[in-house]
Amino acid sequence: MKNKAICLAFLLVFSVVWLGASLPFPAAHDIHLSKCQITFPVENTLDLKCHIWLDDLTAALVLNGLGDPKLLTPGEAPDANTILMKYLFSKIKIRVNGQLIQPAWVDKKASEDGLAVWIHLQAQNLGKVKTVSVTNELLRELYRDQQNIVHLKGPGSRQGYLIFEKPGQQESINF
């Protein structure tokens, strides 16, 4: 009796697997996380590097009316970098000593697994950095559980992490 029940259970699982193979359901990943690193390679220069999943980023660009620039493909739109900066500046706001900064484009590259893009921006001639304020609302228009981590290193030896998971959340650090 028990063996029969076990056979039935595994038959059920097998049936679901077979059913799954024959239906056009999309594959899903449930990691709703972006990560950015803010560093100061020299005292008055700020480097911003952001790691964003490509599928989510594309969906967000389309949702925001910026179109699909076919990032990191042979058919990438000529203005892809401009589109990316437009989106990033609408979602990430960095204030140094109270002044909103808009870092310049440096480059972008695919992550090791090819599923995400690293975007690198840089702001120079900032003067002596006393306070840094950050808001990061990347991809929040797509997912309620989106978490955006910012790793802040320096200036000087001070470093730590900020986790953004609420709308309108702003974090300030004094140096």
| Binding region for other proteins (CB under 8 A) | 2, 5-6, 9, 12-13, 16-17, 19-21, 23, 25-33, 35, 37, 49, 143-145, 147, 149, 151-152, 160-163, 165, 171, 173
Other Cβ atoms less than 10 A from the Cβ of 38: the count is 22
Strand partners, 117: 52, 110
Q: To the nearest whole angstrom, how small is the minimum distance from the Cβ of residue 147 to other proteins?
A: 7
Q: To the nearest whole angstrom, how small is the minimum distance from the Cβ of residue 85 to other proteins?
A: 21
Measure CA of the first residue to CA of the last residue in the chain; give whole Å: 71
Q: To the nearest whole angstrom, how small is the minimum distance from the Cβ of residue 132 to other proteins?
A: 10
Cβ nearer to other proteins, comparing 17 with 167: 17
Give the C-alpha separation, 30 to 54, whole Å: 14
Contact 87, 105 (CB under 8 A): no
Cβ nearer to other proteins, comparing 85 with 149: 149
Q: To the nearest whole angstrom, how small is the minimum distance from the Cβ of residue 154 to other proteins?
A: 12
Cβ nearer to other proteins, comparing 86 with 118: 118
Cβ nearer to other proteins, comparing 30 with 75: 30
**Rounded to the nearest 5°, which phi and psi values hold at 121?**
-125, 160
Q: To the nearest whole angstrom, how small is the minimum distance from the Cβ of residue 70 to other proteins?
A: 23
Cβ nearer to other proteins, comparing 78 with 113: 113
- How far CA 159 is from CA of 40, 137, 155, 175, in Å, comes to 11, 21, 8, 10
Give the C-alpha separation, 20 to 41, whole Å: 50
